Amino acid sequence: MALSSRITCATLSHGFSSTIQRTHLGQGQLTVSPRKQHVHCSVSSASDATATTKSLSVRETIIPWGCEIDSLENASALQKWLSESGLPPQKMDIEKVDVGERGLVALKNIRKGEKLLFVPPSLVITADSEWSCPEAGEVLKKNSVPDWPLIATYLISEASLMKSSRWSNYISALPRQPYSLLYWSQAELDRYLEASQIRERAIERINNVIGTYNDLRLRIFSKYPDLFPEEVFNIDSFKWSFGILFSRLVRLPSMDGKVALVPWADMLNHSCDVETFLDYDKSSRGIVFTTDRVYQPGEQVFISYGKKSNGELLLSYGFVPREGANPSDSVELSLSLKKSDESYKDKSELLKKYGLSVSQCFPIQITGWPLELMAYAYLAVSPSRLRGKFEEMAAAASNKIATKKDFQYPEIEEQALQFILDSCESSISKYNKFLQVSGSLDLDVTSPKQLNRRLFLKQLAVDLCNSERKILFRAQYILRRRLRDMRAGELRALKIFDGFRNLFQ
């Protein structure tokens, strides 16, 4: 499931961060909380994760199941199996499409407000699905493995059985290498995403997956080698399964928020112009979505993956919408306390108290930025005489209190705006530097296949950088104008004051 950028191209519940689940789960909003989310299950040591990261960057993963990202033959076999297993007749068919590699296209006229799909729960993969190897499932559940790692392991277990698995037709239609930043090497992340904060998010996600695998390997797999042989349950297969989950797992609100893989429905591609999402329909007892527009025969049918930024879409799904097409686009701006601040220790301790750090990222949209960012800026520039207000600012920056719209400190507002502007311009300079040298990147690759891949990754990075830089340019313009007007007002007030003073001399 993917939407192409300029080049046609091919996200955990309670166990993992809730901020990286696929959000055609409901009417999602831009997440303004600056706090980072982490894996809740235990992980291995950092050195183990680092070692695995290094090994990932020097070998090419080959998974013996799945198909090429644009395979129609496997998808058609999937539809046939689903139909024989209880999927009702569809008004859509799988085809190669302009937006994405393959997608669902209308076969008949589809009305606005019409329900489509009706995938029965028996054809949906969840944490409660029956294992072909029941002993393996029992071991994982006995060890209280959370839903995401559980489903990831289930997918590998079923895939390894090939034709003997009930899900063989579904797994055969899944991409052998999902479009995901999990498949970018450290060198590629450093080179192509050096200007974007998504690079840090990608590295964190890769390490989370590696840590989760290492935890399962040490706690469970190594103790049950007959059930979880290393030649099947290894980091390569977990990269694949988590890549599938990041890009295809959905949360179904009407099924108490259960996460699920929904075969056939996951062939639907994303459009920023639609708001419809998957859910369980109690009346029809199937997974459906309700169209919010009319489709003519031959038109590709879309759903929404949620109100996500271009960077989040690249992180999970491996595509960047065309410039200006995503109204939910945002860029993360990094703000940091200055170590030279005489109140640095007090401020850093308060930030830590409220779950923040001395270097924190906040989202900026083309329409503005959250109050949490402004609160952080106030704290960063506050002199020691305002020490009594530090905690209030830190709490507001963490969204721990209901911040009032008039939350401000006029005596330091100019310094706070200048602080944000400086950070904004520093980020812009990084984007400018990358875009200036992007034309000379990786043109010495000798393998045509590798060259095409590098060019594709570079184009994704260029598209992302252009969209994020555009938002920063808009923020820069607003900040400069507000500072100019503020300083002009101060200058006028000073002139009036001087005029009165001269009048009485």
- Residues annotated in a binding site: 248, 266, 269-270, 280, 305, 317
The annotated binding site for substrate is made up of 248, 266, 280, 305, 317
Q: Classify 442 in phi/psi space as left (phi over 0), alpha (psi -120 to 50) or beta.
A: left
Chain-centre distance of CA 348, in angstroms?
28
| Dist. CA 296–CA 298, nearest whole Å | 6
| Dist. CA 403–CA 406, nearest whole Å | 8
Query: Terminus-to-terminus CA distance in the chain, angstroms?
Result: 77
| Dist. CA 344–CA 364, nearest whole Å | 25
Instruction: Decide: 335 and 360 in contact? Cβ < 8 Å.
Output: yes
| Dist. CA 307–CA 288, nearest whole Å | 19
DSSP 8-state symbol, 91: S
For 345, list phi and psi in degrees, rounded to 5. Answer: -65, -45
Six-digit token string for 209: 């997956």
Closest by alpha carbon to 362, among 378, 382, 346, 350? Answer: 378
Q: Name the CA dihedral angle for 366, 369, 370, 375, rounded to a multiple of 10 degrees.
A: 180
**Pairing verdict, β 302-303 and 269-270:** parallel
List of residues 6+ apart from 89 with CB closer than 8 A? 83
Instruction: Decide: 250 and 24 in contact? Cβ < 8 Å.
Output: yes
Look-up: residue for tokens 């830190």? 394
The annotated binding site for S-adenosyl-L-methionine is made up of 248, 269-270
| Dist. CA 227–CA 229, nearest whole Å | 6
Q: Which regions of 261-314 does DSSP assign to beta strands (E)?
A: 269-270, 279-281, 286-290, 302-303
Look-up: residue for tokens 């183990």? 48
Closest by alpha carbon to 99, among 256, 304, 321, 306? Answer: 321
List of residues 6+ apart from 74 with CB closer than 8 A? 67, 172, 173
For residue 49, how many other CB atoms are within 10 A of its CB?
19
Instruction: Decide: 116 and 291 in contact? Cβ < 8 Å.
Output: yes
